[in-house]
């Protein structure tokens, strides 16, 4: 997903509502949550894996402490750290490169840190009878920092990991006869404070991350809306000449070779006299009604309508031959006539009509879109010369093509 892309199904309403809510539980609505986790998921897995490798290196450096504080059980520490924990951790890190689902990804990091890191230190504390244990249970505090500050595991998984570390720490001290109850209470209180601070840091960091994501989405949506405004005619809401130029350029690209393209030019009959009689404000209303009818008769995401001039429109219909394009144009012409928009410059009862010129061809190096537009323009003038309110060329069986589900289907 690119930096300016907008996830499907996300709009300004859901983004603004979520920002206003403050998302105190660090959870978004379902679609927004999926977008948050899906955006940059592969990159997050990569960073978690790098952090995991860094953690393994630090974890094994504590062999120095094991050698100095518990030389009698050093061989056990070497076997456990290098022979058991490190290979398993490397397998878990390798699994991250498979870009697993969110829950699996976070459990790999949080669960791996607690079970392998804190669990192995707990075991070494138990086997080192009568020897110094301070270094071992202090290491568990570092695991809190690793989970919440280095890997930045998602908040609720971090809470579980921190509570798991606290349980291991308290259990380890309780099982060691060298630690009296008052020392256990004091040590667990300090460790508990470290847990609280780590959880608080995790909350703040993730909330900031989520807010940055929402603000980024807001910015992307605003840029998209601004970009759409520059590509749409402000009066009719249809695409403008700038958008038409971009579509023409795209269709002329070599990758579009072999694309059958139909061009329809549509002109409102006697529109100048409409404006002169009723005024430009009424003329604008007429243009908007005609544009709305045109847009409603096109296929979503396939066809496009543009305001080409004052009262002239151009339709770009992809993958449609001439006969089908004429039938669609005839349907649009009838829909505009059936709308019965009164024409003030004509006798009472006369309504606004349109003339349409149609052309279709397969785009190639020899036949560019401009050639098809020129052919449609010639057909439009033929329709006007022949009496207006018609589609040119005329086909013997120009049946209307109905598209209630936006799929072509002959009536």
Active-site positions? 311
Distances (CA, A) of 83 to 73, 75, 94, 229, 370: 15, 11, 17, 63, 71
3-state secondary structure of 151: coil
Written in H, E and C, the secondary structure of 55-78 is HHHHHHHCHHHHHHHCHHHHHHHH
3-state secondary structure of 261: strand
- Across the strands, what pairs with 410? 401
Backbone angles phi, psi at 51, to 5 degrees: -60, -35
DSSP labels for 173-215? HHH-TTS-HHHHHHHHHHHHHHHHHHHHHHHHHHHHHHHHHHH
Looking at residue 305, the DSSP 8-state letter turns out to be: E
Token duo for residue 9: 């199904």
CA distance 162 to 203: 12
CA distance 351 to 271: 11
Q: Which of 120, 113, 118, 63 is nearest to 93 (CA)?
A: 113
Please measure the distance between the N-terminal and C-terminal CA atoms of the chain and give it in whole angstroms. 42
Cβ neighbours of 262 (radius 10 Å) = 25
CA distance 313 to 304: 11
The full length of the chain comes to: 411
């Amino acid at each position: 997903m690119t930096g300016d892309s907008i996830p499907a199904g996300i709009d300004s309403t859901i983004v603004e509502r979520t920002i206003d809510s403050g998302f105190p539980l660090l959870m978004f609505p379902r679609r927004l949550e999926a977008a948050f986790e899906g955006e940059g998921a592969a990159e997050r897995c990569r960073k978690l894996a790098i952090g995991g490798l860094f953690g393994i290196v630090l974890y094994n450096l504590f062999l120095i402490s094991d050698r100095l504080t518990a030389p009698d059980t050093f061989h056990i520490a070497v076997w456990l750290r290098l022979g058991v924990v490190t290979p398993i951790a490397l397998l878990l890190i390798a699994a991250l490169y498979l870009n697993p689902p969110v829950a699996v990804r976070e459990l790999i990091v949080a669960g791996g840190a607690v079970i392998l890191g804190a669990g192995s230190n707990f075991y070494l504390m138990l086997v080192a009878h009568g020897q110094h244990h301070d270094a071992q249970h202090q290491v568990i505090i570092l695991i809190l920092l690793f989970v919440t500050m280095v890997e930045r595991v998602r908040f609720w998984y971090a809470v579980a990991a921190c509570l798991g570390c606290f349980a291991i720490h308290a259990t380890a001290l309780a099982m060691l006869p060298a630690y009296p109850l008052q020392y256990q209470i004091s040590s667990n209180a300090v460790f508990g404070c470290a847990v609280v601070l780590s959880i608080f840091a995790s909350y703040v960091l993730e909330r900031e991350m989520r807010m940055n994501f929402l603000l980024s989405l807001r910015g992307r949506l605003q840029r998209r809306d601004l970009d759409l405004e520059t590509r749409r005619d402000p009066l009719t809401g249809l695409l403008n000449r700038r958008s038409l130029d971009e579509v023409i350029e795209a269709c002329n690209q070599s990758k579009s070779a072999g694309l059958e393209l139909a061009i329809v030019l549509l002109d409102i009959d006697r529109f100048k006299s409409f404006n002169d009689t009723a005024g430009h404000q009424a003329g604008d209303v007429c243009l908007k009604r005609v544009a709305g009818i045109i847009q409603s008769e096109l296929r979503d995401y396939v066809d496009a309508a543009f305001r080409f001039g004052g009262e002239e429109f151009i339709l770009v219909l992809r993958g449609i031959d001439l006969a089908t394009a004429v039938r669609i144009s005839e349907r649009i012409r009838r829909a505009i006539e059936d709308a019965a928009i009164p024409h003030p410059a004509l006798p009472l009862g006369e309504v606004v009509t349109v003339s349409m010129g149609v052309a279709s061809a397969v785009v190639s190096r020899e036949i560019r879109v401009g050639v098809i537009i020129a052919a449609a323009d010639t057909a439009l003038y033929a329709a006007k010369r022949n009496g207006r309110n018609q589609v040119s060329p005329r086909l013997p069986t120009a049946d209307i093509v109905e598209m209630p589900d936006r799929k072509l289907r002959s009536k």
